[in-house]
């Protein structure tokens, strides 16, 4: 599903440049649940941004579902993001003045799905994350866990190939974190490919594979025994 080879990325900080990714080789198969771990500054968010086409690598190749991702202009990138990727962020990033339902419907709107179909589908996804009754609430009327579940529903609404989650539990207490992880595991069980960036070991243990990043290189790439989050909920 995801194949990257010899990926480099550096940022210019004034006169000196900061080499963040120093040749990453990495591939993900369909249906995997991968945690990317590493201390801050290890380049894990940068990697995720490149995978999410929010940022571009300096060199190296990136294939997503056998489509080479290179030389993207903004319109094309937007198109790919919309078709291939779903995003979940640490700070939820819901749009404040839109209801939960409308937030979930956004990616479908960009796909030009008609309004009625769009809202119906969004409601289905909200139901799957258990927030059907909250469909018409604004984000500031929801708790952190609820917000993140809306965000996950939004990410899934466009039926992406890959779900990318940047510290999805970073702003949540541990109980809510496990609830969210339970949801993510359920989504993974249906065969969706998911990548999670995290620095919490217990969250990482709930994935099927952990990739350790350190100073811009992959230090360790291991398969792990998945801990089901449902037992903590």
Q: Where are the beta strands (DSSP E) in the chain?
A: 2-13, 16-28, 33-37, 59-64, 67-68, 85-88, 162-166, 193-198, 209-214, 217-223
Give Cα separations from 229 to 92, 170, 183 (angstroms).
20, 16, 9
Residue 13, CB half-sphere, CA atoms under 13 Å: how many?
A: 7
Does residue number 12 form part of the binding site for another protein (CB under 8 A)? no
Does residue number 147 form part of the binding site for another protein (CB under 8 A)? no
Q: Is 23 left (phi over 0), alpha (psi -120 to 50) or beta?
A: left
Place of tokens 């796909």: 111
Q: Which stretch binds another protein (CB under 8 A): 77-85, 176-184, 208-216, 223-231?
A: 77-85
Measured CA to CA, the distance from residue 57 to residue 130 in angstroms comes to: 38
Does residue number 197 form part of the binding site for another protein (CB under 8 A)? no
Nearer to another protein, 55 or 58 (CB): 55
Copy the structure tokens of residue 80.
């790919």
Does residue number 139 form part of the binding site for another protein (CB under 8 A)? no
**Total residues binding another protein (CB under 8 A):** 28
Q: How far is the CB of 137 from another protein (least distance, A)?
A: 16
Does residue number 78 form part of the binding site for another protein (CB under 8 A)? yes
Q: Which of 41, 63, 110, 208 binds another protein (CB under 8 A)?
A: 110
Does residue number 228 form part of the binding site for another protein (CB under 8 A)? no
Q: Using alpha carbons, select from 230, 225, 221 the residue that is nearest to residue 47.
A: 221
Three-state DSSP class for 123?
helix
Q: Which stretch binds another protein (CB under 8 A): 7-15, 103-111, 123-131, 180-188?
A: 103-111
Q: How far is the CB of 175 from another protein (least distance, A)?
A: 22
Does residue number 52 form part of the binding site for another protein (CB under 8 A)? yes
Which positions lie near another protein, rule CB under 8 A?
49, 52, 54-55, 74-75, 78-79, 81-83, 87, 89-91, 93-97, 106-107, 109-111, 115, 154, 158
């Amino acid at each position: 599903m995801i194949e990257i080879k010899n990926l480099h990325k550096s940022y210019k900080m004034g006169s000196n440049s900061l080499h963040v990714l120093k040749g990453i080789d990495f591939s993900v198969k369909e249906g995997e649940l991968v945690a990317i771990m590493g201390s801050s500054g290890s380049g894990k968010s940068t990697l995720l941004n490149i995978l999410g086409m929010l940022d571009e690598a300096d060199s190296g190749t990136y294939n997503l579902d056998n489509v080479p991702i290179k030389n993207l202009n903004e319109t094309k990138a937007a198109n790919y993001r919309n078709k291939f990727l779903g995003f979940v962020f640490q700070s939820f990033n819901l749009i404040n003045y839109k209801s939960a339902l409308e937030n979930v419907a956004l990616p479908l709107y960009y796909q030009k799905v008609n309004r009625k179909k769009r809202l119906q589908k969004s409601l289905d996804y909200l139901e799957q994350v258990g927030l059907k009754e909250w469909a018409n609430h604004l984000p500031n009327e929801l708790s952190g866990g609820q917000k993140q579940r809306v965000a996950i529903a939004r990410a899934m609404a466009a039926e992406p190939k890959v779900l990318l989650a940047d510290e999805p539990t970073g702003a949540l207490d541990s109980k809510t974190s496990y609830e969210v992880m339970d949801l993510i595991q359920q989504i993974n069980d249906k065969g969706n490919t998911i990548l999670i960036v995290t620095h919490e070991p217990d969250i990482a243990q709930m994935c099927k594979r952990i990739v350790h990043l350190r100073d811009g290189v992959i230090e360790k790439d291991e398969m792990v025994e998945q801990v089901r989050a449902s037992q903590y909920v």
